[in-house]
Amino acid sequence: MAGEALLVSRLLLAGVFLVAGIAKLADRRGTRQAVADFGAPERVAGPLALVLPIAELTVAALLLPAATAIVGAIAALALLLLFSAAIAVNLARGRAPDCHCFGQLHSAPASWKTLARNGVLAGIALFALVVSLAEPEPSAVAWIGRLDPVEILALAVIAVALVLLAVGGAAFLSLLRSYGRVLVRLERVEAALAEAGIDLDEDAEMPEIGLEPGTPAPEFWATSLTGETVSRATLSSSGTPSLLLFTSPRCASCKTLQPAAAEWQREYAAQLTILFASDGSSHDVRAEAEKYELEHVLLDEKQYLYDAFQANGTPSAVLIRSDGTIGSWLASGQTAIETLVAYALTGAEDERGLPIGAEAPPVELPSLKGGTVSLESLRGRDTLLPWESSSNGARPRLVVVSSGDFERTRAEGFESLVLLDESDSAGAALGANGTPVAVLIDAEGRIASELVVGADAVLALTGSNRMRSPTAPSRALT
């Protein structure tokens, strides 16, 4: 009985080390990155990325024949203890680098679960060593030789099936990621066609991609370029919503978005935490972060964050509320991400603008036509205040609040009353951050609608007969 248990333990260990060694050799770049992330100096990370899988394959080979089984068990135990020590040291320092234990077949940030798994394997290796020293050692090679042809055929079929399953799983994950990138490229083509005046028919609503809003964000641990460990708990402790933006050094659209995203980081730091999750190597990601002056950049070379949040191409983004729940569907492409940022900045995390029925603040702004206009002077008719960058003036008279300067705003050609809010005093008083947003003020100077975000919502509000004053019938003044 002990001999059979010994044989099974050695076959199990040999299989684990064989798969791990082959997977690491198939992904040398990822193995090198993992070795460096665990603290190996850059100059030795490359050689170690080759030595490590070769050592694992050697251990697998030594465990099978009876003559070398003891040496194989000792080597297996030594490697597992070495791996466990490296993981424990990094966890104690608050770091959770990608273990890359089985290459692209399976890898995740190192955790206490990884340490426990290695402990179980080390226990099996210790059992194999102790029993091998106490009893004659059964040979796995001899055991295979004693099988009849049918049993050998069954064993071969099982082995081939396991290999095909592993290869197929890796290929399927690669296909899904490629599909997401194709979708983003199609979006760029559609945007280019739209700029050329060619409109494509599309659904009225954006597809609901990613994790459902309101559900808890997945637990994660990621390492930033500064070496800090960032987790869901880290984001929640900031007290502000977070925008997780998925990018790649190989993504041309990301390079177009990043200057604007860097500006968002600087301008809205007190209201919104913007983090980048990039799938490039640490060298490429660092170079890009320095070029665009990006902060809060997380390394996601193996796309664990990307997969955990069900991202679908780059650039894409998702909003995480300060309570650790998902705050939006996935936004794909620059236009959708800009809309999501505007949505987050309006206070969608807590309150969107002032509550309905509240008195409009006593704000006074300069008019494009000269002089100043106070919101109080607009009483007597319902007033719609949109924060727009442009307007065609074709609808009933709007009171447009522009954050641009005098010359640029006048060049827009507004026909309606335009107030200048370069210092954003009106926006801050009414809880409006970003553009385009709008709010309806009734004839008595009270807030008569929620703050709406996006061009479609603003235009809908101009003709809405559903948003009425609490005390007076609604008359649209635009």
Q: Are residues 322 and 387 in the same domain?
A: no
- Cβ(73)–Cβ(12) below 8 Å: no
Shared domain check, 137 and 227: no
pLDDT at 296: 93
Peptide bond just before 436 cis, omega within 30 deg = yes
Do residues 228 and 279 both lie within one domain? yes
Count: domains in the chain: 3
Pairing type for strands 273-278 and 297-299 reads parallel
Most confident of 4-13, 139-148, 168-177: 4-13
d(CA 385, CA 458): 9
Mean pLDDT of 402-429: 71
Q: Which of 317-331, 405-419, 456-470 has the highest mean pLDDT?
A: 317-331
User: Taking CA 364 as the corner, what is the angle to CA 358 and CA 369, rounded to the nearest 5 degrees?
Assistant: 130
- Residue 157 placed within a domain: no
Whether residue 352 is predicted with pLDDT greater than 50 in this model: the reply is no
Both 130 and 19 in one domain: the answer is yes
Give the pLDDT score at 363: 72
Indicate whether 314 belongs to any domain. Answer: yes
Report pLDDT for 468: 36
* pTM (predicted TM-score): 0.38
> What is the tens place of the pLDDT at every residue in 8-52?
788 888 888 888 888 888 887 778 888 888 888 878 888 888 898
Q: 150 vs 152, which has greater pLDDT? A: 150
Residue 169 lies in a domain: no
Write down which residue in 312, 345, 378 finishes a domain: 345
Residue 151 pLDDT > 70: no
pLDDT at residue 174 tops 60: no
Mean pLDDT computed over 268-297? 92
pLDDT band at 168 (very low <50, low <70, confident <90, very high): low
Q: Clarify whether residues 99 and 13 are in a common domain.
A: yes
Shared domain for 113 and 21, answered yes or no, is yes
pLDDT tier for residue 132 given thresholds of 50, 70 and 90: confident
Structural domain boundaries, residue 390: 364-462
Higher pLDDT, 318 or 239: 318
Last residue of a domain, one of 91, 114, 146: 146
Q: Would residue 154 count as lying in a domain?
A: no
Check residue 406 and give its pLDDT: 72
Q: 319 and 382 share a domain?
A: no
What tens digit of pLDDT does each residue of 94-114 get? 777 777 777 655 666 778 888
Residues 123, 26, single domain; the answer is: yes
Same domain, 75 and 38: yes
Residues 410 and 336 in one domain: no
DSSP letter string over 305-340?
HHHHTT--SSSEEEEE-TTSBB-SPPEESHHHHHHH
Q: For residues 135 and 67, state if they share a domain.
A: yes
pLDDT of residue 238: 79
In a domain, 312, yes or no: yes
In a domain, 155, yes or no: no
Task: Please report whether residue 469 resides in a domain.
Answer: no
Domain for residue 164, yes or no?
A: no
Give pLDDT, residue 388.
47
What's the CATH number where 416 sits? 3.40.30.10
Helix residue ranges per DSSP H, 97-146: 112-134, 140-145
Nearest-CA neighbor of 344 among 429, 453, 262? 453
| Residues 14 and 142 placed together within one structural domain of the fold | yes
Among 102, 130, 146, the domain-final residue is 146
